[in-house]
Amino acid sequence: MENRIKTLKYKGKRHVPLPTGPYTVGCTDVMNSYFKFGVFVRIYYPSKDSGILDRYLQWPPWLPHKQYVNGYASRLGVSPRFYRFMQNILVGKLYVPAVWQGELLPTDEKYPVIVFSHGLSGWRTTYSSICLELASHGFVVAAVEHRDYSASASFYKKQVRMSAAGNHPGSSLCDLDELLNDPNELSYCDVVEDEHHPSQSTQDVGPFTHADEWMLYLHPTKDNETLLRSRQLRRRSKECSGTLDLLEDLDRGRLVVNVLDSTFDSVMFRNQLDLKNAFFIGHSFGGATGILCLATEIRFKAGIFLDPWMFPFYHDQSCFSMISQPFLCLLVKSFQTKKDLRMSKQLQDTHNDSQFLLMKDAEHRDLCDTPFLPKCPISLSSRIGFKIEKFSALDLTTNLILEYFGNHLGKSFCDESRNIEFLKKKYLRTDQYIDKIIK
């Protein structure tokens, strides 16, 4: 980590930090169904291409669509138009230093996989800096964009009837929003996805087409927040399991249809993914998602919960005792309340094969890409300023992840440096320190 390039601009393009691993990173988006009950992910992977700086014209934008800004503005309670204006002025365009839809680098050993779950009002690119770093060290990372209305925004391909002119969407043929309001448990079998052959493009469906149907962040009320978060948690867990299904299909060489406009070649992942070494990472609400995932999905070998939001478990901790896999929990002192810490302690007490660490002088947002957005108005949602240097937070977090997963794989992904050891001594505290705070 000592050799990290700390410039965030190249050829006039602002970008999130360049990864430090030996591999150039490629990425692509995959949406495997026309319905919102499918899986929507961004996959980061080691690429056959080399020279990421020379390929700056192939970098994808960090912000996929302006609707993500609209959704975040809605959560903050400000005008979307004003928020977009401030975003353009203060941030402008930001890019992800990865080769868009680059070719996968073939390997004989197979790549271990990671499913990454974002927090409230995040989306599939919000943790690009961490995902890039992990992919550059030989992981295939599938960053889920949850379509449970907890993301700032997301979308699915909604079937609509073509107008008489044949070029504009008209009346809706299938609105699935009513299903989310159904008091019964959501299930993938609620929708029969065989109504439309997914291999057909929008030009091949005659009088019908598919238009992007946007789903902005849903504000809870005091009366329904507990129920809403519980249902979102279960939905998120199913999407993460569905992501593992998707990765298994890729590894087996099955045709994985991508309903997005894409040149995605699913065949390149055949026999390249090590599904026996599938790991989970989640931040905030994604950390809570990981707790439920490890309790219900035995295909995950281990997990890491980055500053998990414990609210969804205030009234039901039954899943704690169901976890059989080891996990690491990294807490941020400024975000965790005493009630949250007590619940984390309860989780630890029910699982001996776990590790709890606490990061001092950091903010909850330091574990995502927010520190690397120049003068970003997203910072309006929390206290302005950073106590911990932004690259230090990233290097410390990714080093912990690589070290923890490396121990499970019997590999060493990063060399211990004096800088990392200094950061650990300065910012990290063990579970004994957490016990003192609780008391």
Q: Which of the residues are catalytic?
A: 284, 307, 364
Q: Please enumerate in sequence order all residues whose Cβ is within 8 A of that of 368, keeping only pairs 6 or more positions apart, or say none.
A: 118, 119, 122, 126, 127, 129, 130, 283
Q: Please enumerate in sequence order all residues whose Cβ is within 8 A of that of 258, keeping only pairs 6 or more positions apart, or say none.
A: 29, 30, 31, 32, 264, 266
**What does 368-393 look like in DSSP terms, one character per residue?**
SSGGGSTT-GGGGGS-SS-SS-HHHH
Q: Residue 73 in contact with residue 80, Cβ under 8 Å? A: yes
Q: Residue 271 in contact with residue 291, Cβ under 8 Å? A: no
**What does 138-186 look like in DSSP terms, one character per residue?**
T-EEEEE---SS-SSEEEEEEEEEE-TTSSSEEEES--THHHHT-SSPP
Q: How far apart are CA 258 and CA 195, in angstroms?
A: 17
Q: 74 in helix, strand or coil? A: helix
Q: Distances from the Cα of 99 to the Cαs of 47, 50, 62, 359, in angstroms? A: 8, 9, 13, 33
Q: 208 in helix, strand or coil? A: strand
Helices (H) and strands (E) in the chain, counts: 10, 16
